[in-house]
Amino acid sequence: MDLDLLFRALSDPTRRRLVDELAERDGQTLFELHVRLITWHGASLSRQALSKHLQMLEEAGLVRTEWQWRSKHHFLDRAPIRQAWTLWLGRHAGHDRAEPIEESAVTLRGPRTARPPRRDGVKDRDNKRRDLR
Amino acid sequence: MRIVLTSVLVDDQEKAQRFYTDVLGFVPRADVPMGEHRWLTLVSDDDPDGVQLLLEPDAHPAAKPYKAALVRDGIPCTSFAVDDVQAEYKRLRGHGVRFTQPPVTMGPVTIAVFDDTCGNLVQIAQQH
């Protein structure tokens, strides 16, 4: 898990849109992603530029590619985002006040300190999903 | 000047003729022997005097890498108009046609992309 690669990959609006588009329909070809960016976002980027963006997302682990017959399809991998949340982001995001904190999750980690409690474990998956929207 | 002809580069004219007529539903127009290949064109069933589609051999050494590179990125070599992409998608899938892109509506069009079995991807598009 390389946080630098992940944050660098997400530091560009086109690449974040690609994540959005793959979240909407997974497994797209370069052609479909290109048409989507042009149609929905008025992007004027070349296929070569798009290819480079996808490569950065792939290097960050956010996109994996799969050959289906003779075409290359792109799939979103959310694992690096979850890991980034567990490793760093979540710690600094504070409590989600709408969500009751499980007492055990806090006490297990010892006495409360000024530091926001770290949240991970099963219950956390839903929080993360909502928070990242 | 008028556009009367467009072409797809196919790996096998006989196979292409079968796919483009039996599966896609085009009808033969010209079939003239030309050395080891044929001048082989098709037209739309409801427009016999319309633009002809030439099933052109991909024998040139540059043709195959060019086609493979387009297919790799999911780029169709041509596009055909249909009244109902969803219905065509269902019908063609019933014939075992492989799609790289199911029908997706993008602004004023719905498009889908399939494999023509002759080394190309083909788009079908419906204007709304």
Domains, chain A: 3-76 (1.10.10.10), 79-131 (no CATH)
**Which percentage of chain B shows pLDDT scores above 70?**
100
Looking at residue B78, what is its pLDDT? 98
Kindly report, residue by residue over B66-124, the tens digit of the pLDDT.
999 999 999 999 999 999 999 999 999 999 999 999 999 998 999 999 999 999 999 99
Using a CB-CB distance cutoff of 8 angstroms, which residues of chain B are in contact with residue A39? 106-107
- DSSP characters for A65-128? EEEETTEEEEEE--HHHHHHIIIIIHHHH---TTSPPPHHHHHTT-S--SSPPP--STTHHHHH
Supply B73's token pair: 């990125």
B73 vs A: CB within 8 A: yes
Give the residue-averaged pLDDT of B36-43: 97
Supply A61's token pair: 């682990």
Q: Which of A34, A69, A51 is nearest to B120 (CA)?
A: A69
Using a CB-CB distance cutoff of 8 angstroms, which residues of chain A are in contact with residue B121? 71
As a whole number of angstroms, the distance between CA A131 and CA A128 comes to: 5
CA dihedral sign of residues B90, A64, A52, A41: positive
Cβ contacts below 8 Å, chain A against chain B, sum to 50
Q: Hey, of A24, A30, A31, A68, which one would you mutate to test binding to chain B, going by the most B CBs within 10 A of its CB?
A: A31
Give the residue-averaged pLDDT of A2-19: 96
Element (H, E) at B110: strand B109-115
Closest CA of chain B from A100, distance in Å: 40
Looking at residue A41, what is its pLDDT? 80
As a whole number of angstroms, the distance between CA A61 and CA A79 comes to: 8
Classify domain B5-127 at the CATH superfamily level.
2,3-Dihydroxybiphenyl 1,2-Dioxygenase, domain 1 (3.10.180.10)
More confident residue, A69 or A43: A69
A36 vs B: CB within 8 A: yes
What ipTM does this complex have?
0.91
Domain ranges of chain B: 5-127
Residues 9-28 on B with a CB inside 8 Å of A are none
As a whole number of angstroms, the distance between CA B102 and CA B88 comes to: 11
B69 vs A: CB within 8 A: no
Q: Which of A61, A20, A62 is nearest to A41 (CA)?
A: A20
**Bridge partner residues of B5 (DSSP):** B52
